[in-house]
Amino acid sequence: MPLNLTVSPDFAPDHISGWFYFNTYLQRKLGIPIHLELYDSFAKQREDIRNGKVDLIYANPYDASMLVREMGFKALTRPMQKTDETVIAVSAQSSVNSVEELQPGAILATTDDPDVHTMGMIMLEPADLDESNIQLKTLKNYVLVAKSLLKGEADVGFFLKQGYDELSTLIRSEMKVLVSSQIGVIHHVLLAGPAFAQYQEALTSALLTMSEDPKGRSVLQNMGLVGWEEMSEEDSEFMIDLIDTLID
Amino acid sequence: MSEEKNDNLREELIRYYDGAERVAKIVDEEVPYPDGKLIVSRTDVKGFITHVNQAFVDMSGYTREELIGANHNILRHPDMPAIAFKGLWDTVEKGEKWQGFVKNLRKDGTYYWVKATVIPNIRNGQLLGYTSVRRKPSRSKIRESEALYATLM
Ligand SMILES: Cc1cc2nc3c(=O)[nH]c(=O)nc-3n(C[C@H](O)[C@H](O)[C@H](O)COP(=O)(O)O)c2cc1C
Protein backbone atom coordinates (compact mmCIF):
# COMPACT_ATOMS: atom_id res chain seq x y z
CA MET A 1 0.00 0.00 0.00
CA PRO A 2 1.50 3.36 -0.96
CA LEU A 3 1.38 6.15 1.60
CA ASN A 4 -1.01 8.98 0.84
CA LEU A 5 -0.06 12.61 0.33
CA THR A 6 -2.62 15.39 0.11
CA VAL A 7 -2.71 19.15 -0.11
CA SER A 8 -4.98 21.72 1.53
CA PRO A 9 -7.71 22.33 -1.10
CA ASP A 10 -6.90 26.05 -1.18
CA PHE A 11 -3.87 25.52 -3.46
CA ALA A 12 -3.83 27.80 -6.50
CA PRO A 13 -4.96 25.94 -9.67
CA ASP A 14 -1.72 27.05 -11.36
CA HIS A 15 0.22 24.95 -8.88
CA ILE A 16 -1.51 21.60 -9.34
CA SER A 17 1.25 20.26 -11.57
CA GLY A 18 3.80 21.44 -8.99
CA TRP A 19 2.26 19.15 -6.38
CA PHE A 20 2.51 16.18 -8.77
CA TYR A 21 6.19 17.00 -9.41
CA PHE A 22 6.65 17.28 -5.64
CA ASN A 23 5.20 13.82 -5.16
CA THR A 24 7.53 12.37 -7.81
CA TYR A 25 10.46 14.17 -6.20
CA LEU A 26 9.68 12.75 -2.75
CA GLN A 27 9.23 9.21 -4.07
CA ARG A 28 12.67 9.35 -5.70
CA LYS A 29 14.31 10.82 -2.61
CA LEU A 30 12.71 8.36 -0.19
CA GLY A 31 12.51 5.34 -2.49
CA ILE A 32 8.91 4.56 -1.52
CA PRO A 33 5.60 4.73 -3.42
CA ILE A 34 3.42 7.71 -2.48
CA HIS A 35 -0.03 8.41 -3.85
CA LEU A 36 -1.15 12.04 -4.26
CA GLU A 37 -4.84 12.67 -3.66
CA LEU A 38 -6.22 16.16 -4.32
CA TYR A 39 -9.57 17.40 -3.04
CA ASP A 40 -11.78 20.26 -4.06
CA SER A 41 -13.50 20.49 -0.71
CA PHE A 42 -12.24 20.80 2.85
CA ALA A 43 -15.17 18.75 4.15
CA LYS A 44 -14.36 15.70 2.00
CA GLN A 45 -10.67 15.97 2.82
CA ARG A 46 -11.40 16.13 6.56
CA GLU A 47 -13.58 13.05 6.29
CA ASP A 48 -10.70 11.12 4.68
CA ILE A 49 -8.26 12.43 7.29
CA ARG A 50 -10.56 11.14 10.04
CA ASN A 51 -10.79 7.79 8.28
CA GLY A 52 -7.01 7.44 8.31
CA LYS A 53 -6.62 7.85 4.55
CA VAL A 54 -3.97 10.58 4.81
CA ASP A 55 -0.33 10.09 5.84
CA LEU A 56 1.32 13.31 4.72
CA ILE A 57 -0.42 16.64 4.26
CA TYR A 58 0.36 20.21 3.33
CA ALA A 59 -2.28 21.44 5.72
CA ASN A 60 -4.27 24.58 6.18
CA PRO A 61 -3.34 26.07 9.58
CA TYR A 62 -6.95 25.74 10.67
CA ASP A 63 -6.81 21.94 10.23
CA ALA A 64 -3.44 21.60 11.98
CA SER A 65 -5.11 21.39 15.40
CA MET A 66 -7.15 18.30 14.55
CA LEU A 67 -4.23 16.67 12.73
CA VAL A 68 -1.68 17.22 15.51
CA ARG A 69 -3.82 16.95 18.64
CA GLU A 70 -6.33 14.34 17.56
CA MET A 71 -4.67 12.35 14.79
CA GLY A 72 -1.07 12.25 16.04
CA PHE A 73 0.48 14.13 13.12
CA LYS A 74 3.80 15.94 13.53
CA ALA A 75 4.79 19.24 11.95
CA LEU A 76 7.95 18.84 9.89
CA THR A 77 8.32 22.02 7.88
CA ARG A 78 6.65 25.26 6.92
CA PRO A 79 6.89 27.11 3.62
CA MET A 80 9.53 29.85 3.73
CA GLN A 81 8.40 33.47 3.60
CA LYS A 82 4.77 32.53 3.30
CA THR A 83 2.17 33.41 5.88
CA ASP A 84 -1.59 33.35 5.44
CA GLU A 85 -3.07 36.83 5.54
CA THR A 86 -6.64 37.93 4.86
CA VAL A 87 -7.88 40.88 2.85
CA ILE A 88 -11.38 42.37 3.20
CA ALA A 89 -12.40 44.30 0.09
CA VAL A 90 -15.45 46.01 -1.40
CA SER A 91 -16.20 47.27 -4.89
CA ALA A 92 -14.41 50.51 -5.76
CA GLN A 93 -17.91 51.99 -6.26
CA SER A 94 -18.99 51.16 -2.72
CA SER A 95 -19.71 54.03 -0.35
CA VAL A 96 -18.11 51.99 2.44
CA ASN A 97 -14.58 53.06 3.33
CA SER A 98 -13.93 51.16 6.54
CA VAL A 99 -15.04 47.90 8.13
CA GLU A 100 -16.96 49.86 10.78
CA GLU A 101 -19.23 51.33 8.09
CA LEU A 102 -20.53 47.91 7.02
CA GLN A 103 -24.13 47.34 8.10
CA PRO A 104 -26.10 44.33 9.34
CA GLY A 105 -27.68 42.47 6.46
CA ALA A 106 -24.59 42.96 4.28
CA ILE A 107 -23.95 40.20 1.74
CA LEU A 108 -20.54 38.62 2.29
CA ALA A 109 -18.75 36.72 -0.49
CA THR A 110 -16.32 34.19 0.95
CA THR A 111 -14.79 30.76 0.21
CA ASP A 112 -14.55 27.56 2.24
CA ASP A 113 -10.89 28.35 3.09
CA PRO A 114 -11.18 27.98 6.84
CA ASP A 115 -8.30 30.19 7.92
CA VAL A 116 -9.20 33.10 5.64
CA HIS A 117 -12.87 32.89 6.59
CA THR A 118 -12.06 32.78 10.31
CA MET A 119 -9.70 35.77 10.12
CA GLY A 120 -12.16 37.65 7.93
CA MET A 121 -14.99 37.15 10.42
CA ILE A 122 -12.73 38.36 13.24
CA MET A 123 -11.94 41.49 11.26
CA LEU A 124 -15.71 42.13 10.82
CA GLU A 125 -16.29 42.09 14.60
CA PRO A 126 -15.44 45.80 15.02
CA ALA A 127 -18.60 46.42 12.93
CA ASP A 128 -20.66 44.13 15.23
CA LEU A 129 -21.14 41.73 12.32
CA ASP A 130 -21.20 37.96 12.71
CA GLU A 131 -22.83 35.02 10.98
CA SER A 132 -26.19 35.85 12.56
CA ASN A 133 -26.55 39.26 10.92
CA ILE A 134 -24.87 38.96 7.52
CA GLN A 135 -25.76 36.92 4.46
CA LEU A 136 -23.06 34.46 3.47
CA LYS A 137 -22.30 33.51 -0.10
CA THR A 138 -19.69 30.76 -0.16
CA LEU A 139 -17.97 30.66 -3.55
CA LYS A 140 -15.43 28.31 -5.15
CA ASN A 141 -12.50 30.70 -5.45
CA TYR A 142 -11.27 34.28 -5.12
CA VAL A 143 -11.91 35.17 -8.76
CA LEU A 144 -15.59 34.45 -8.12
CA VAL A 145 -15.49 36.49 -4.89
CA ALA A 146 -14.08 39.43 -6.87
CA LYS A 147 -16.67 39.01 -9.63
CA SER A 148 -19.55 39.01 -7.17
CA LEU A 149 -18.26 42.32 -5.73
CA LEU A 150 -17.86 43.87 -9.18
CA LYS A 151 -21.34 42.77 -10.24
CA GLY A 152 -22.84 44.17 -7.06
CA GLU A 153 -24.00 40.72 -5.97
CA ALA A 154 -22.09 41.00 -2.70
CA ASP A 155 -21.26 44.01 -0.50
CA VAL A 156 -17.98 42.76 0.91
CA GLY A 157 -15.56 39.92 0.17
CA PHE A 158 -12.84 37.89 1.91
CA PHE A 159 -9.61 36.99 0.09
CA LEU A 160 -6.42 35.17 0.93
CA LYS A 161 -3.97 38.05 0.49
CA GLN A 162 -1.95 36.05 -1.99
CA GLY A 163 -5.14 35.24 -3.93
CA TYR A 164 -6.02 38.93 -3.96
CA ASP A 165 -2.56 39.94 -5.15
CA GLU A 166 -2.72 37.37 -7.97
CA LEU A 167 -5.96 38.83 -9.40
CA SER A 168 -5.47 40.86 -12.59
CA THR A 169 -4.56 44.52 -12.21
CA LEU A 170 -7.83 45.38 -13.94
CA ILE A 171 -9.96 43.46 -11.44
CA ARG A 172 -8.02 44.85 -8.51
CA SER A 173 -8.50 48.39 -9.82
CA GLU A 174 -12.25 47.83 -9.48
CA MET A 175 -11.95 47.05 -5.79
CA LYS A 176 -11.06 48.83 -2.57
CA VAL A 177 -9.25 47.13 0.33
CA LEU A 178 -10.79 47.92 3.73
CA VAL A 179 -8.31 45.98 5.81
CA SER A 180 -5.42 43.60 5.25
CA SER A 181 -4.31 41.40 8.11
CA GLN A 182 -0.75 41.46 9.45
CA ILE A 183 -0.64 38.39 11.63
CA GLY A 184 2.70 36.99 10.50
CA VAL A 185 2.52 33.75 12.46
CA ILE A 186 -0.28 31.76 10.83
CA HIS A 187 0.84 29.64 7.90
CA HIS A 188 0.40 26.31 6.16
CA VAL A 189 2.40 23.41 7.48
CA LEU A 190 3.63 20.06 6.20
CA LEU A 191 2.49 17.38 8.64
CA ALA A 192 3.41 13.70 8.72
CA GLY A 193 1.11 11.09 10.21
CA PRO A 194 2.09 8.08 12.32
CA ALA A 195 2.56 5.85 9.23
CA PHE A 196 5.29 8.21 8.06
CA ALA A 197 7.30 8.01 11.28
CA GLN A 198 10.10 5.82 9.91
CA TYR A 199 10.67 8.18 6.95
CA GLN A 200 10.35 11.36 8.93
CA GLU A 201 14.04 12.12 9.22
CA ALA A 202 14.82 11.36 5.58
CA LEU A 203 11.81 13.38 4.54
CA THR A 204 12.73 16.41 6.62
CA SER A 205 16.27 16.46 5.29
CA ALA A 206 15.01 16.07 1.70
CA LEU A 207 12.67 19.03 2.24
CA LEU A 208 15.24 21.27 3.89
CA THR A 209 17.77 20.74 1.09
CA MET A 210 15.24 21.04 -1.73
CA SER A 211 16.07 24.64 -2.53
CA GLU A 212 19.78 23.81 -2.84
CA ASP A 213 19.25 21.30 -5.62
CA PRO A 214 18.32 22.55 -9.13
CA LYS A 215 15.63 19.89 -9.58
CA GLY A 216 14.18 20.64 -6.16
CA ARG A 217 14.21 24.34 -6.91
CA SER A 218 12.25 23.88 -10.09
CA VAL A 219 9.68 21.72 -8.27
CA LEU A 220 9.35 24.40 -5.57
CA GLN A 221 8.88 27.05 -8.21
CA ASN A 222 6.03 25.04 -9.73
CA MET A 223 4.42 24.83 -6.29
CA GLY A 224 4.76 28.57 -5.83
CA LEU A 225 7.19 28.14 -2.92
CA VAL A 226 10.78 29.24 -2.35
CA GLY A 227 11.78 26.55 0.14
CA TRP A 228 10.98 24.90 3.44
CA GLU A 229 11.88 25.83 6.99
CA GLU A 230 12.06 23.39 9.85
CA MET A 231 9.28 23.58 12.42
CA SER A 232 9.80 22.43 15.97
CA GLU A 233 7.07 20.76 17.95
CA GLU A 234 6.71 23.90 20.07
CA ASP A 235 6.43 26.08 16.92
CA SER A 236 3.48 24.03 15.79
CA GLU A 237 1.88 23.87 19.25
CA PHE A 238 2.22 27.64 19.53
CA MET A 239 0.48 28.20 16.20
CA ILE A 240 -2.27 25.75 17.14
CA ASP A 241 -2.84 27.49 20.49
CA LEU A 242 -3.05 30.78 18.68
CA ILE A 243 -5.59 29.46 16.20
CA ASP A 244 -7.58 27.91 19.05
CA THR A 245 -8.07 31.40 20.49
CA LEU A 246 -9.63 32.47 17.19
CA ILE A 247 -12.12 29.62 16.94
CA ASP A 248 -15.23 29.66 19.11
CA MET B 1 4.32 63.87 25.82
CA SER B 2 2.37 66.86 24.52
CA GLU B 3 1.15 69.77 26.66
CA GLU B 4 -2.40 68.64 26.16
CA LYS B 5 -1.73 65.17 27.53
CA ASN B 6 -0.04 66.65 30.59
CA ASP B 7 -3.24 68.54 31.35
CA ASN B 8 -5.13 65.25 31.63
CA LEU B 9 -2.52 63.48 33.66
CA ARG B 10 -3.49 62.20 37.09
CA GLU B 11 -2.09 59.65 39.47
CA GLU B 12 -4.02 56.69 40.72
CA LEU B 13 -3.25 53.85 43.10
CA ILE B 14 -3.59 50.37 41.63
CA ARG B 15 -4.09 47.54 44.14
CA TYR B 16 -3.20 44.13 42.82
CA TYR B 17 -4.67 40.78 43.82
CA ASP B 18 -1.57 39.74 45.75
CA GLY B 19 -1.66 42.90 47.88
CA ALA B 20 1.01 44.77 45.90
CA GLU B 21 0.31 48.38 44.98
CA ARG B 22 1.64 50.97 42.60
CA VAL B 23 0.86 54.56 41.78
CA ALA B 24 0.28 54.75 38.04
CA LYS B 25 -0.04 57.83 35.90
CA ILE B 26 -3.31 57.84 34.04
CA VAL B 27 -4.19 59.85 30.95
CA ASP B 28 -7.80 59.61 29.75
CA GLU B 29 -6.92 59.24 26.14
CA GLU B 30 -7.58 56.19 23.97
CA VAL B 31 -5.06 54.80 21.51
CA PRO B 32 -6.93 53.06 18.67
CA TYR B 33 -6.47 49.34 18.17
CA PRO B 34 -4.31 48.72 15.07
CA ASP B 35 -6.42 47.36 12.18
CA GLY B 36 -5.66 43.87 10.92
CA LYS B 37 -3.37 42.94 13.81
CA LEU B 38 -3.53 40.46 16.63
CA ILE B 39 -1.79 41.35 19.88
CA VAL B 40 -0.21 38.20 21.31
CA SER B 41 1.45 37.35 24.60
CA ARG B 42 2.22 34.24 26.59
CA THR B 43 2.80 33.80 30.29
CA ASP B 44 4.06 31.10 32.60
CA VAL B 45 1.55 29.44 34.94
CA LYS B 46 1.81 32.35 37.39
CA GLY B 47 1.13 35.09 34.84
CA PHE B 48 4.67 36.29 34.20
CA ILE B 49 5.23 37.25 30.57
CA THR B 50 7.37 34.86 28.51
CA HIS B 51 6.58 36.03 24.96
CA VAL B 52 5.15 39.11 23.26
CA ASN B 53 4.72 39.90 19.57
CA GLN B 54 5.64 43.22 17.99
CA ALA B 55 2.05 44.50 18.09
CA PHE B 56 2.05 43.91 21.86
CA VAL B 57 5.28 45.86 22.27
CA ASP B 58 4.00 48.71 20.08
CA MET B 59 0.64 49.00 21.86
CA SER B 60 1.91 48.66 25.41
CA GLY B 61 4.55 51.34 25.03
CA TYR B 62 7.10 49.21 26.91
CA THR B 63 10.20 47.67 25.36
CA ARG B 64 10.37 43.92 24.86
CA GLU B 65 13.07 43.78 27.55
CA GLU B 66 10.80 45.52 30.06
CA LEU B 67 7.95 43.12 29.27
CA ILE B 68 9.64 39.71 29.33
CA GLY B 69 9.65 38.45 32.89
CA ALA B 70 7.21 41.13 34.09
CA ASN B 71 3.90 40.26 35.75
CA HIS B 72 1.15 40.59 33.13
CA ASN B 73 -0.66 42.96 35.51
CA ILE B 74 1.79 45.61 34.27
CA LEU B 75 -1.09 46.44 31.85
CA ARG B 76 -3.80 46.57 34.50
CA HIS B 77 -5.90 49.72 34.22
CA PRO B 78 -7.54 51.08 37.40
CA ASP B 79 -10.90 51.20 35.55
CA MET B 80 -10.86 47.40 35.27
CA PRO B 81 -12.68 45.68 38.15
CA ALA B 82 -10.72 43.00 40.01
CA ILE B 83 -13.60 40.58 39.50
CA ALA B 84 -13.01 40.52 35.73
CA PHE B 85 -9.53 39.12 36.27
CA LYS B 86 -10.73 36.73 38.93
CA GLY B 87 -13.08 35.37 36.26
CA LEU B 88 -10.17 35.09 33.85
CA TRP B 89 -7.97 33.17 36.26
CA ASP B 90 -10.76 30.92 37.57
CA THR B 91 -11.61 29.97 33.99
CA VAL B 92 -8.14 29.28 32.64
CA GLU B 93 -7.04 27.46 35.79
CA LYS B 94 -9.88 25.03 35.12
CA GLY B 95 -8.30 24.45 31.70
CA GLU B 96 -10.95 26.43 29.84
CA LYS B 97 -10.91 29.30 27.36
CA TRP B 98 -11.69 32.80 28.66
CA GLN B 99 -12.91 35.66 26.53
CA GLY B 100 -13.61 39.24 27.53
CA PHE B 101 -13.16 42.93 26.86
CA VAL B 102 -10.22 44.56 28.59
CA LYS B 103 -9.11 48.15 29.01
CA ASN B 104 -5.33 48.12 29.10
CA LEU B 105 -2.96 50.71 30.50
CA ARG B 106 -0.01 51.81 28.39
CA LYS B 107 3.29 52.88 29.82
CA ASP B 108 2.51 56.52 28.97
CA GLY B 109 -0.76 56.39 30.95
CA THR B 110 -3.10 56.27 27.94
CA TYR B 111 -5.26 53.22 27.28
CA TYR B 112 -6.48 50.82 24.60
CA TRP B 113 -9.42 48.43 24.51
CA VAL B 114 -9.12 44.85 23.29
CA LYS B 115 -11.24 41.76 22.95
CA ALA B 116 -9.01 39.17 24.59
CA THR B 117 -9.03 35.38 24.51
CA VAL B 118 -6.86 33.45 26.96
CA ILE B 119 -6.21 29.71 26.71
CA PRO B 120 -4.08 27.29 28.69
CA ASN B 121 -1.07 25.78 26.89
CA ILE B 122 -1.18 22.04 27.48
CA ARG B 123 1.82 19.94 26.38
CA ASN B 124 1.76 16.19 26.92
CA GLY B 125 -1.00 16.67 29.46
CA GLN B 126 0.98 19.27 31.43
CA LEU B 127 0.06 22.92 31.86
CA LEU B 128 2.96 25.02 30.55
CA GLY B 129 1.46 28.48 30.71
CA TYR B 130 -1.14 30.62 28.97
CA THR B 131 -1.53 32.35 25.61
CA SER B 132 -3.59 35.49 25.10
CA VAL B 133 -4.60 36.79 21.68
CA ARG B 134 -6.38 40.15 21.36
CA ARG B 135 -8.40 41.51 18.51
CA LYS B 136 -10.13 44.79 17.73
CA PRO B 137 -13.41 45.24 19.66
CA SER B 138 -16.47 47.10 18.37
CA ARG B 139 -17.39 50.51 19.81
CA SER B 140 -20.69 49.12 21.07
CA LYS B 141 -18.93 46.36 23.04
CA ILE B 142 -16.54 48.93 24.51
CA ARG B 143 -19.48 51.09 25.64
CA GLU B 144 -21.25 48.06 27.16
CA SER B 145 -18.08 47.00 28.97
CA GLU B 146 -17.45 50.50 30.30
CA ALA B 147 -20.97 50.62 31.72
CA LEU B 148 -20.72 47.12 33.18
CA TYR B 149 -17.27 47.56 34.72
CA ALA B 150 -18.29 50.86 36.33
CA THR B 151 -20.92 48.91 38.30
CA LEU B 152 -18.38 46.30 39.44
CA MET B 153 -15.78 48.64 40.91
C1 LIG C 1 -2.08 35.05 29.21
C2 LIG C 1 -2.59 36.16 30.08
C3 LIG C 1 -2.77 37.43 29.56
C4 LIG C 1 -3.22 38.48 30.32
N5 LIG C 1 -3.36 39.70 29.74
C6 LIG C 1 -3.75 40.76 30.50
C7 LIG C 1 -3.85 42.05 29.91
O8 LIG C 1 -3.64 42.25 28.72
N9 LIG C 1 -4.20 43.08 30.72
C10 LIG C 1 -4.47 42.91 32.04
O11 LIG C 1 -4.76 43.91 32.71
N12 LIG C 1 -4.39 41.68 32.60
C13 LIG C 1 -4.06 40.62 31.85
N14 LIG C 1 -3.98 39.37 32.43
C15 LIG C 1 -4.39 39.24 33.84
C16 LIG C 1 -3.26 39.58 34.78
O17 LIG C 1 -2.51 38.40 35.03
C18 LIG C 1 -3.79 40.10 36.11
O19 LIG C 1 -4.63 39.15 36.72
C20 LIG C 1 -4.58 41.42 35.98
O21 LIG C 1 -3.83 42.40 35.30
C22 LIG C 1 -5.00 41.97 37.32
O23 LIG C 1 -3.91 42.10 38.16
P24 LIG C 1 -3.86 41.33 39.58
O25 LIG C 1 -4.44 39.97 39.34
O26 LIG C 1 -2.42 41.30 39.95
O27 LIG C 1 -4.69 42.15 40.50
C28 LIG C 1 -3.53 38.28 31.68
C29 LIG C 1 -3.38 37.01 32.23
C30 LIG C 1 -2.93 35.94 31.44
C31 LIG C 1 -2.79 34.59 32.04
pLDDT at A13: 83
Question: In terms of residue numbers, what domain contains B37?
Answer: 30-152
| Predicted confidence (pLDDT) at residue B2 exceeds the cutoff of 50 | no
Interface probe, candidates B132, B136, B144, chain A, greatest A C-beta count within 10 A: B136
pLDDT at B8: 81
Of A159, A180, A201, the domain-final residue: A180
Residue minimizing CA distance to atom 10 of ligand 1? B76
The domain that contains B105 carries what CATH number?
Answer: 3.30.450.20
pLDDT at A1: 80
DSSP state of A183: -
Contact criterion met (CB < 8 Å) for A184 and B118: no
| Whether A176 and A195 share a structural domain | no
C-alpha atoms less than 13 angstroms from C-alpha of A219 in its C-beta half-sphere: 21
Q: Write the residue in A126, A179, A245 that is nearest to B138 by C-beta.
A: A126
Strand order of the sheet with strand B39-43?
B49-52, B39-43, B126-135, B111-123, B98-105
CA distance B96 to B102: 18
Q: Is B104 in the pocket of ligand 1 (CB under 6 A)?
A: yes
Contact criterion met (CB < 8 Å) for B36 and A100: no
Residues B54-78, mean pLDDT to the nearest whole number = 97
Cα(B20) to centroid(ligand 1), Å: 14
| Whether A112 and A36 share a structural domain | no
Of A129, A150, A180, the domain-final residue: A180
Instruction: Count the domains in chain A.
Output: 2
CA distance A137 to A145: 9
| Predicted confidence (pLDDT) at residue B3 exceeds the cutoff of 50 | no
Contact criterion met (CB < 8 Å) for A242 and B131: yes
Domain-embedded: residue B40: yes
Question: In terms of residue numbers, what domain contains A105?
Answer: 86-180
Asked if residues B61 and B76 have their Cβ atoms less than 8 Å apart, the reply is no
pLDDT at B76: 97
Q: Is B72 in the pocket of ligand 1 (CB under 6 A)?
A: yes
pLDDT at A11: 86
pTM summary value: 0.94
The domain that contains A104 carries what CATH number?
Answer: 3.40.190.10
> Is the backbone of residue B36 left (phi > 0), alpha (psi -120 to 50) or beta?
left
Instruction: Count the domains in chain B.
Output: 1
Q: Which residues in chain B touch residue A180, judged by CB atoms under 8 angstroms apart?
A: 36
Contact criterion met (CB < 8 Å) for B139 and A245: no
Q: Write the residue in B36, B37, B133 that is nearest to A245 by C-beta.
A: B133
Q: Is B103 in the pocket of ligand 1 (CB under 6 A)?
A: no
Q: Is A184 on the interface with B (CB under 8 A)?
A: yes
| Whether A176 and A90 share a structural domain | yes
Q: B9 by DSSP, 3-state: which?
A: coil
DSSP string, B59-75: HH-S-HHHHTTSBGGGG
Q: What is the pLDDT of residues A2-26, one digit of tens each?
A: 999 999 999 888 899 999 999 999 9
Q: Which atom of ligand 1 is nearest to the CA of B42?
A: 1
Domain-embedded: residue B91: yes
| Beta-bridge partners for B112 | B104
**Chain B contact residues (CB < 8 Å to A):** 33, 35-38, 40, 42, 53, 55, 97, 115, 117-119, 121, 123, 131-133, 135-141
User: Mind listing the pLDDT tens digit of every residue in chain A (248 residues)?
Assistant: 899 999 999 988 889 999 999 999 999 999 999 999 999 999 999 999 999 999 999 999 999 999 999 999 999 999 999 999 999 999 999 999 999 999 999 999 999 999 999 999 999 999 999 999 999 999 999 999 999 999 999 999 999 999 999 999 999 999 999 999 999 999 999 999 999 999 999 999 999 999 999 999 999 999 999 999 999 999 999 999 999 999 97
Label residue B6 by pLDDT band (50, 70, 90).
low
Q: What is the pLDDT of residues B105-121, one digit of tens each?
A: 999 999 999 999 999 99
Taking all residues of chain B, what is their mean pLDDT, rounded to a whole number? Answer: 94
| Whether A161 and A232 share a structural domain | no
Of A158, A180, A202, the domain-final residue: A180
Q: What is the pLDDT of residues A38-49, one digit of tens each?
A: 999 999 999 999
Residue minimizing CA distance to atom 19 of ligand 1? B85
Domain-embedded: residue B12: no
Domain-embedded: residue B67: yes
pLDDT at B1: 43
Q: Write the residue in A125, A183, A242 that is nearest to B136 by C-beta.
A: A125
Contact criterion met (CB < 8 Å) for B131 and A181: no
Residues near B59 by beta carbon (within 8 Å), at least 6 away in sequence: B31, B33, B34, B39, B104, B106, B112
Q: Which atom of ligand 1 is nearest to the CA of B132?
A: 1
Q: Which atom of ligand 1 is nearest to the CA of B102?
A: 9
Domain-embedded: residue B49: yes
Q: Is A100 on the interface with B (CB under 8 A)?
A: yes
> What is the bridge-based pairing of β-strands A86-91 and A175-180?
antiparallel
Q: Which residues in chain B touch residue A128, judged by CB atoms under 8 angstroms apart?
A: 138, 140-141
Domain-embedded: residue B145: yes
The single-letter code of the amino acid at A144 is: L
Domain-embedded: residue B7: no
